[in-house]
Amino acid sequence: MRGSASHPIRKGWPEDLSNTFVGEEIEQAALTLHPAQAAAEGATRERLERIGGHGALIIDWLDAAPLDAVPLGQLADRIIAFLRERREDHQALINWRERDRHALREFWARAPADALGVKQELEKALAQDGKPTT
């Protein structure tokens, strides 16, 4: 029964059907945020935007500098530039991949096409020494 069809039936039998809901009404109630939830989500979003964390991933570039919150749209280019700079230092690339594995997994979830390009570039850099990548 559709939500619009349930209203006339409820009017006819208000005592019997006052706490009975159809699936559409339940789904709509689940999608509606309470004011406190909306305020908390807004405050979290605002804090993340202030620190550059909303839509960004935290990366350690192995340069003894603080961790870097890189916006998602810039991440592939920044990683590829890093890989090309460190191409000769295979152990550093392996260490970097291990250290940033969680951020790289999240990158794959958020931007799979860009992440695939980064993965291919990393594999190419690591394969230059003749050893298979792990």
Q: Each residue of 4-19: pLDDT tens digit? A: 666 676 677 666 666 6
Q: Give Rg (Cα) of the chain.
A: 25
DSSP code of residue 134 = -
pLDDT of residue 103: 96
Structure tokens that stand for 22 in this block: 């159809």
DSSP code of residue 71 = E
H or E stretch covering 81: helix 72-85
* Average pLDDT, rounded, for the chain: 82
Task: Compute the average pLDDT of residues 69-79.
Answer: 94
Task: Compute the average pLDDT of residues 79-88.
Answer: 95
Strand-pair partners of 59: 68
pTM reported for the whole predicted model: 0.60
Residue 78 contacts residue 121 (beta carbons within 8 Å): no
